[in-house]
Amino acid sequence: MTKLTHLWTHESRQIAVVASLAFATVLCGILLVVRALYADVLGYAGLAWNLFLAWLPMIAALTAYNLKRSDTRGVWVLIVPCVFLWLLFFPNAPYILTDLLHLRARDGVPLWYDLILLIAFAWTGTFLGLVSLYLMHMLVRRSAGGVAGWIFTLAVLSLVGFGVYLGRFPRWNSWDLFFNPVELLADIWQRARHPLANPRTIVFSGLFSLCVTAMYLMLAAIIQFSPEGLERRSTKAE
């Protein structure tokens, strides 16, 4: 009975998280549609595509996390592709933060409305990424231990800024790894080989990674600080 209760509680929490992210996504869509109806022009349409891309790592992480919980034989054959897809598309989630660069008066729409629109998309996309990272953190921790979980997570966070940089400035996409791998890898190698020749790459990537790391640490701390988390730790201590 206790195991069944724990399973139900765990599943209900997953549903609550996904539902809240879905609600935020629907709100973003409504804000975009209202803007289009008001201005009679589909401005900022690219935000919808970027938010769709932000959902891909979330779906991949949620799938991998639940596959690991099933603990069936040969499940890693399915988990590994999910982890790969998650890692490939993960930078698309916090990438939406850089869309704030597009904020300016346009289409006769109040600037404050566009600010709210961009913040809504940026927040939703980033939070999708942070939650997906937490799921992957938990997956690695349960598979290889707490130290390995943090090493994996911090390694991903240290690289996410560079991934966002490649999307924002050279305008590479995640799928270019499949459709244009030679040029993409050559560009990455060139920047890694001559880092001092590309100061903007280093500064932007480093600062962006630090900001996303700070966000993730806050999310992880809040989860650990939850009353349920404190109660579980107290029960184990007894």
Are 57 and 89 spatial neighbours (Cβ–Cβ below 8 Å)?
A: yes
- How far is it, in rounded angstroms, from Cα 103 to Cα 209? 22
pTM value?
0.88
Are 51 and 32 spatial neighbours (Cβ–Cβ below 8 Å)?
A: no
pLDDT of residue 226: 61
- How far is it, in rounded angstroms, from Cα 112 to Cα 145? 46
Answer with the residue of higher pLDDT: 192 or 23: 23
Among the listed residues 122, 104, 125, 126, the one whose alpha carbon sits nearest the alpha carbon of residue 114 = 104
Cα–Cα distances in Å, from 14 out to 8, 132, 155, 194? 10, 12, 25, 44
**Which tens digit of pLDDT belongs to each residue from 68-86?**
887 677 788 999 999 999 9
The residue length of the chain stands at: 238
Mind giving me the DSSP string for 182-196?
A: HHHHHHHHHHHH-GG
**Which tens digit of pLDDT belongs to each residue from 139-160?**
999 999 999 999 999 999 999 9
Query: Amino acid identity of 199?
Result: P
Among the listed residues 111, 125, 2, the one whose alpha carbon sits nearest the alpha carbon of residue 52 = 125
Query: Amino acid identity of 63?
Result: T
Residues contacting residue 143 through CB under 8 Å, at least 6 positions apart = 68
Structure-token pair, residue 81: 């592709």
Angle in degrees, CA 138, 144, 146, rounded to 5: 60
**Which tens digit of pLDDT belongs to each residue from 115-135?**
999 999 999 999 999 999 999
Are 56 and 125 spatial neighbours (Cβ–Cβ below 8 Å)?
A: no
Answer with the residue of higher pLDDT: 218 or 237: 218
In eight-state DSSP terms, residue 72 is: -
pLDDT of residue 228: 54
Structure-token pair, residue 73: 């034989």
* pLDDT confidence bin for 1, thresholds 50/70/90: very low
Give me the torsion for CA of 28, 30, 33, 38, rounded to 10°: -110
**Which tens digit of pLDDT belongs to each residue from 157-187?**
999 999 999 999 999 999 999 999 999 999 9
Q: What is the mean pLDDT of the chain?
A: 89
3-state secondary structure of 109: strand
User: Is pLDDT above 70 for 16?
Assistant: yes
